[in-house]
Chain A
Amino acid sequence: MPGYQGINAKMLQVPVGPGHEVFSKRGAMLAYTGPVTFEPSATAGQGLGGALGRAVAGERSAMMHVRGQGTVLFGHGGLHVTVVDLSGADTLYVEADRLLVHDASLQVGTMFMGEQGGVRGMVRGAVTGQGLFTTTLSGHGSCGLLSHGGVMELPITPQRPVFVDPQAYVAHRGQVENRLAVSAGMRDLIGRGSGEAFQLQLSGSGVVYVQASERKI
């Protein structure tokens, strides 16, 4: 089964067939050929418990269960689309809004920010506007991420942590610890700051996806 194929920077072609179903963001289908159906999905591949967790967490971006036999084109709001392939080794952390489409074979979860970085993680969630929960994807399969202006892939190594503007952060994968680095001083309090008071510090080993813009979805 051929995988996800980028038509251009903003369009993604996904084959759908028996045993190869996908979940996609609601309203993100651009076109399709063949007998393909779109069914609203409350659980988006998670169990009932997961669905409840998502509802509580506010990480509930409406998803559709896409199945049938054919080819579907996805895109959303003129945003750039990036394909990430997961080989089962690591977990992808991404905000639910930014998830355009993912294979049904991937395990979807919701993670409480506190698990990664404790109270700091919660502060981070509040500051970045990411909420206190984030969506996790693991297993074998592909997914498409939305970004404004395309993403850069920055490697994270133990010797070399990466600092990212929280608004430019899209997703990350690997064994990565994140914390919010605050460099706010008196100047920020009186409105004369650099505008870069908060950064996301990602350390460990993995990859972070950064968009070339500070616009949220």
Chain B
Amino acid sequence: MAVQTWNAASLPSNDNVNPYAFSVDLDGRWFVQKGKMIAYYGQIRFESLSSGALDAFVAGAFNSPMYAGDWIVAEGRGKLLLADRGFDVNSFDLDEGNLTVRAGNLLAFEPGLELKQSIIPGFLTLIGTGRFVAASNGPVHFVEPPIRVDPQALLGWADCPSPCHHYDHSYMRGAFGAARMILGVGGASGEEHQFDFSGQGTVLMQSSEVVMNEDTLLRDLEGQISMVGTSGLQRLQSTIAQRLAAERQS
């Protein structure tokens, strides 16, 4: 099998180079997640969102201070290659639409789109018109509601209402279930919790990703602490102290 050699002119324009790499034909600005750029041709500068020079521009398209540290702006002309952990990379076009995607899997987007944090922790919502690039573990699978999806297998969703949590503990019912609960035998099915989608729209799925991005979850929690009052903070503190003590014992 011959390996194709690319150059600045032959690299695809806004298309996949192979299933695992995407080539952006940059002329202007794109938002790119840190660490997802693997190579580039041409005159491209990478600026952090907080550099000051881009303040007005960033304020118009990037609406999530929590994630600002993870993103940079690529500015200039050239070909920009994006990839992520050998995951399948795909580009999607939005036309006056909205789509929510797992924060860690969004690689880049055009400034025509506006980025906001989703209500669901760890997800980002894109609104407007433009193109974005996202990575998935295995090819993306599109399904229609009503469907229940494992949180780790959820890549994102478009046009449908935000999901709600679904908990299934039906096997804990009945005499056998009571015995299971008291004796603690039999264990859990590992599938008690799903995201429940209903309404019109499309749900995007990937093959399960075992490693969750704990960092984004942590920052989501931190971001919500400001909503908790003094008594709540005290309760949180005692909960955390208990957890820490338990962790030290084990």
A residues apposed to B, CB below 8 Å = 7-11, 26-33, 37-42, 62, 64, 73, 75-79
Cα distance, A30 to B136, chains bound together (Å): 14
Q: Which range contains the number of B residues in contact with the other chain?
A: 20 to 34
Partner of B186, one of A8, A27, A38, A40: A40
Taking the closest CB of chain A, its distance from the CB of B169, in whole angstroms, is 10
A-B interface contact total, Cβ < 8 Å: 95
Taking the closest CB of chain A, its distance from the CB of B244, in whole angstroms, is 27
Q: Which residues of B contact A32 (CB under 8 A)?
A: 147-148, 194
Q: Which residues of B contact A28 (CB under 8 A)?
A: 208
B149, closest chain A residue (CB)? A31
Judged by DSSP, the binding face of A is strand
Taking the closest CB of chain A, its distance from the CB of B188, in whole angstroms, is 6
Check A31 against B143 for contact (C-beta < 8 Å).
yes
Partner of A8, one of B141, B148, B209: B141
Partner of A39, one of B147, B150, B171, B207: B171
Check A40 against B187 for contact (C-beta < 8 Å).
yes
Q: Which residues of B contact A10 (CB under 8 A)?
A: 137-139, 207
Taking the closest CB of chain A, its distance from the CB of B173, in whole angstroms, is 11
Q: Can you give 13 A-B contacts (C-beta < 8 A)?
A: A9-B138, A27-B191, A31-B150, A32-B147, A32-B194, A33-B146, A37-B170, A38-B189, A39-B170, A42-B186, A42-B187, A75-B153, A76-B207
Cα distance, A7 to B207, chains bound together (Å): 10
Cα distance, A33 to B143, chains bound together (Å): 10
The answer to whether A40 and B138 touch (CB under 8 A), given A31-B143, A31-B153, is no
Cα distance, A28 to B170, chains bound together (Å): 19
Check A39 against B149 for contact (C-beta < 8 Å).
no
